[in-house]
Amino acid sequence: MKKRKRRILFLIALSLFAYCCFVFKDSATTLTNEDFIRFHVIANSNSPSDQQLKLTVRDGLLRSINDGLAAETMAMVKPDKTKATLDIDRSKEFIEENLAEFVQEAQAILKREGCSYPVKAELGTAFIPKKTYGKITFPAGNYNALTVTIGEGRGENWWCVLFPPLCLIGLTPEEGANMEELYKEAILDEKYRFLLEDTQKPKTLKLKFKVLELMEE
């Protein structure tokens, strides 16, 4: 009984400590796990062929999603503005509205590769371990994530960051450069700017997480 009580007290103390400390500040900037949308692709198995299929589906969906978000960005330009804006809420809406299309596209990609695995796509909360993208490291935690599961979903996972657009993997160098420039012009929220800046210094983000999410982890 005493051990259980000490364990509960320890978890509460740990959660409160993490809640207070997992904050990244750059000037007046404070980012939380709610400020990002991650992209999560799960392979059918760890066989070489299934892992390659995962990457092929990843590349196709990334190109489609980036194109779609770019179109959303340009469609939201107002007559009195010279720059477009696209926030995380509209990005979530776009993903939710197109989940069925993402499934169809993934299945079409698999079919071209001679495979008939079922595909599932959902937008929700997913626990993602510590990951580094280029020079930016994200802490482990629960994030908004578009999760695409291929077949039985028993293979190794792949992650990136959809919003802000840190994963341009799968695009040609020209497409990637054009997309990156578009997003630099489109995203006006200053709290994201330092993520898109060219820098030689690695960044390890410390994000504010919800207490309940940390206790679940």
Distance CA 86, CA 188 (A): 8
According to the model, what pLDDT value does residue 47 have? 96
For the record, the structure tokens of 200 come out as 């030689």
Which of 19-28, 43-52, 124-133, 149-158 has the lowest average pLDDT? 19-28
The tokens of 141 are what?
């935690």
Helix (H, G, I), strand (E, B) or coil at 138: strand
CA proximity to 37, closest of 83, 95, 111: 95
More confident residue, 101 or 22: 101
The answer on pLDDT for 13 being more than 50 is no
Taking the CA atoms of residue 138, residue 148, residue 215 and residue 133 in that order, the dihedral angle to the nearest 10 degrees is -10
Q: Which amino acid, one-letter code, is at 37?
A: I
Could you give the CA distance from residue 152 to residue 125 in angstroms, rounded to a whole number? Answer: 20
Lowest model confidence (mean pLDDT) among 9-18, 46-55, 60-69, 184-193: 9-18
* Mean pLDDT within 18-42: 66
Over the chain, what is the mean pLDDT? 75
pLDDT at 27 (0 to 100): 36
Q: pLDDT for 70-121, tens place per residue? A: 777 777 666 665 566 667 888 899 999 999 999 999 999 999 999 999 999 9
3-state secondary structure of 180: helix
SS (H, E, C) 36-92: CEEEEEECCCCCHHHHHHHHHHHHHHHHHHHHHHHHHHHHCCCCCCCCCCCCHHHHH
Q: Tens digits of per-residue pLDDT, 107-152?
A: 999 999 999 999 999 999 988 888 887 778 888 889 999 999 999 9
Overall residue count recorded for the chain in this entry: 217
Spatial neighbors of 45 by CB under 8 A, at least 6 apart, are 151, 152, 154, 155
Model confidence, pTM: 0.73
